[in-house]
Amino acid sequence: MTRLRRIVVVGASQAGWATAAALRRFSFDGVITVIGDEPHAPYSRPPLSKGVLGGTEPDSSVFLAGADDLDLVTGLTAVRLDAGRKRVVLSDGDSIGYDGLVIATGARARRLSPDADEITLRTLDDALRLRDRLRNADDLAVAGGGFLGMEIASTAATLGKSVTVVDQVTPLAGRLGALLSDMCRTAAAETGVKIRTSPAGVRIEDGRLVSADGTVLAEAGLVVTAVGDLPNTEWLRDSGVVLAGGVVVDPCCRVAPHIVAAGDVISLPGADGRFTRSPHWWNALTQATIAAATLLGREPDARLGSTAPIFWTEMFGLRIRIAGKLPPSGEPIVVGGSLEDRSALLTWPASGRNAGFGTAAAVNFPISAPKLTRLAQPR
């Protein structure tokens, strides 16, 4: 096997930074260049919709601890991959050669309109801008009742804003299942947040959220959209890298010889053969370790899909961590705490042979992430 001397990581965020750190942990002593298009040093996004937006967490707390001896390049975009010549072409016209490449370009906010003024929340700059705008607004309309939209609504409600969330479907039901999503919506209603559904969809019109038939669903001083994300793969077009709703990887995060990928940008086939992404913080970290091992020719300790995926969300006084198959369906077993107290450890065991993962959830309940993951493993 060729000994790698220079590894280039494209994407200077959670996955890219964690992969670089794992490469050093695995004793890679060559050059690691991390290239990111944002002007900031790598930072963590989860606090952006929570403590940073709410002003309860210092902005500086988001920055990730440094990995050893890295060459970090910020404010430059990778515009093309020439995999044949093993070069990444950059937005300043220069290019950089590699003998190992990590693709970690993540995702960006999907937008509801072509309007450049549409307010979304993906980056630190977005969060700081939204926080400023929120200060001067009495009310907020949020398009999209997924995790991000509901977290923004929750934070705005704690700031005393009048909040309306509009979604095509019942918020969170598709991911958290009936019981937990119901708990979130009840907690939202208790803080005064209004939720409206519009099966035909929603568009922004004159600063209002409007349904397909023109019904005004929400009118507020400030409108923010949280309608999903899109993988940043444009720079890989015509490179030979296989794209299917993201960068396709094998269970070892391998994309092609000498190329691995990790984080929100990757796409995996589900049981039905359809490719999907699972864009969550913990996944980015797990994949980073697998990708680093694979790139160095080591056998990764775990493979994608061998342990139950896990993520968390915080909204309306609920800290929910959930591992395994989503959405859980049916009645859970209450392993600890109580649902009435909104502090509970729940499991939905896998049913039937070859059923794959079950689900385990901790709602305001202290349990380590590895233990929660184990509760969701097939028995």
Ligand X SMILES: Cc1cc2nc3c(=O)[nH]c(=O)nc-3n(C[C@H](O)[C@H](O)[C@H](O)COP(=O)(O)OP(=O)(O)OC[C@H]3O[C@@H](n4cnc5c(N)ncnc54)[C@H](O)[C@@H]3O)c2cc1C
- 255 binding ligand X? (CB under 6 A): no
Residue nearer to ligand X on the CB measure, 193 or 262: 262
The distance of closest approach from Cβ of residue 151 to ligand X in the complex, given in angstroms and rounded to an integer, is 7
CA 181 to chain centre: 19
Residue nearer to ligand X on the CB measure, 185 or 277: 277
Distance, first Cα to last Cα, the chain: 39
The distance of closest approach from Cβ of residue 213 to ligand X in the complex, given in angstroms and rounded to an integer, is 31
Are the CB atoms for 138 and 219 separated by under 8 Å?
no
Q: What are the residues facing 275 on neighbouring strands?
A: 269
The distance of closest approach from Cβ of residue 78 to ligand X in the complex, given in angstroms and rounded to an integer, is 4
Residue nearer to ligand X on the CB measure, 217 or 314: 314
Residues 289-328 as x/- pattern, contact with ligand X by CB under 6 A: ----------------------xxx---------------
For residue 161, what are its two tokens?
A: 């804003």
Cite the DSSP H helix spans in the chain.
14-25, 51-54, 124-135, 147-158, 173-190, 281-295, 369-376
Residue type, position 265, single letter:
V
CA 187 to chain centre: 23
Interacting residue with ligand X among 98, 281, 316, 365 (CB under 6 A): 281
Nearest CA to 175 among 195, 149, 201, 155? 149
Helix axes 173-190 and 147-158, enclosed angle (nearest 10) = 10
- 77 binding ligand X? (CB under 6 A): yes
Residue nearer to ligand X on the CB measure, 130 or 202: 130
Query: Distance between CA atoms of 233 and 21, rounded to whole angstroms?
Result: 23
For residue 332, what are its two tokens?
A: 């859970």
Residues 8-47 as x/- pattern, contact with ligand X by CB under 6 A: --xxxxxxx------------------xxxx------xx-
Interacting residue with ligand X among 7, 32, 72, 78 (CB under 6 A): 78
- 98 binding ligand X? (CB under 6 A): no
CA 145 to chain centre: 15
- 278 binding ligand X? (CB under 6 A): no
Interacting residue with ligand X among 222, 284, 344, 363 (CB under 6 A): 284
Interface with ligand X (CB under 6 A), residue total 37
The distance of closest approach from Cβ of residue 175 to ligand X in the complex, given in angstroms and rounded to an integer, is 12
- 264 binding ligand X? (CB under 6 A): yes
Helix axes 281-295 and 14-25, enclosed angle (nearest 10) = 40
Residues belonging to the chain: 379
Whether the bond between 327 and the residue before it is cis, its omega within 30 degrees of 0, is yes
Residue nearer to ligand X on the CB measure, 16 or 177: 16
Q: What are the residues binding ligand X (CB under 6 A)?
A: 10-16, 35-38, 45-46, 48-49, 77-78, 104-107, 121-122, 148, 232, 235, 263-265, 279-282, 284, 311-313
